[in-house]
Amino acid sequence: MSALVDERTPERMPVPRKRRGPRAIGMAAGITAVLVALHVAAWRGAEMDLGMLAEGWHGMVRFVSEAIPPDLTWDPVVKDGLDACLVTLWIGLLGTTLSIPFTIVLCVLGTRATNGNAAVYQVARGIMSFLRAVPDVVFALVFVTAVGLGPFAGVLALICNNTGVMGKLWSEAMEEVDDGPAQALRIAGAGRTQLIAHAVLPACLPQLVGLVLYRLDVNVRSSLVLGLVGAGGIGFLINQSIQEFRFDQMLTYILMVLVLVVIVDLLSSFVRRRLAP
């Protein structure tokens, strides 16, 4: 019986090792040398000094000792912090949703699957690259000088930056769509708008919605940073508490931000799971 089993059991053959030639070994060594050189240059350029970090440990200990325990006074610390967290959430929400119309226009014009004009395609891609390259903090500083301090400047900054980032993500998703349904509609005489509405968008709609939820999560965190430059929200209170050396209040606001980010992340994950096929 055992002999029968042995005869029917296929013999495992050893997998031959892939031999690397001198050219492959030389290329790997060259890439490793370049990476090491880049990291050495970056280390020096960033003025990395572990000795300074070791010498400054007492400053960090003093900072932590002054921050713990957090100030949990209801009025004005916790109450103002909760109100500011809501403002931060509203900034991230509006910065995401209000950028969707501009994103649709740019990604439709900047996608080869939906736009055959090379000049318009390059212009749209250039606008997306510009909006994506300029940090949202820079946009916030510009809008603060235009509309003053407050969350309105933060919303405008997120709209600009998120349009560039989400336009790039959406355009890549639309270019990866199967061209079969679009070709069938094109043969049937459908126009460009019909191709977009009935072939391209339905095929990638779940992915586009998932990207919107991902950007909402990111924008809520970004709105915290925008508050540091006067765009309102919980970031403004954190900056104010640091300037006043009230590190216990700062820790309270940071804990509130942590709870807010976790809640937004859980809600986004829940919606993404419901939308998954």
pLDDT tens for the chain, 277 residues long, are: 444 445 555 556 565 565 666 777 888 888 999 999 999 999 988 888 888 877 777 777 887 887 788 878 888 888 888 888 899 899 989 999 999 999 888 888 888 777 777 888 889 889 999 998 888 888 888 888 888 888 898 899 999 999 999 888 888 887 776 666 666 666 666 666 666 666 667 667 777 888 888 888 888 888 888 887 877 788 888 888 888 888 888 889 889 888 888 888 888 888 777 766 5
- Could you give phi then psi for residue 87, rounded to 5 degrees? -60, -40
Please state the pTM of the whole predicted model: 0.75
Give dist(CA 129, CA 123) in Å, integer.
10
- Token pair in block for residue 225: 């940073």
At 39 the pLDDT is 93
CATH topology of domain 75-275: MetI-like fold (1.10.3720)
Q: Cis before residue 151, ω within 30 degrees of 0?
A: no
Residue 89 contacts residue 260 (beta carbons within 8 Å): yes
Per domain, the residue ranges of the chain are 75-275
3-state secondary structure the chain: CHHHHHHHCCCCCCCCCCCCCHHHHHHHHHHHHHHHHHHHHHHHHCCCCHHHHHHCHHHHHHHHHHHCCCCCCHHHHHHHHHHHHHHHHHHHHHHHHCCHHHHHHHHHHCCCCCCCCHHHHHHHHHHHHHHHHCCHHHHHHHHHHHHCCCHHHHHHHHHHHHHHHHHHHHHHHHHCCCCHHHHHHHHCCCCHHHHHHHHHHHHHHHHHHHHHHHHHHHHHHHHHHHHCCCCCCHHHHHHHHHHCCCHHHHHHHHHHHHHHHHHHHHHHHHHHHHHCC
Single out the residue of 165, 163, 158, 174 nearest to residue 206, CA to CA. 174
Residue 131 contacts residue 161 (beta carbons within 8 Å): yes
Single out the residue of 220, 95, 237 nearest to residue 157, CA to CA. 95
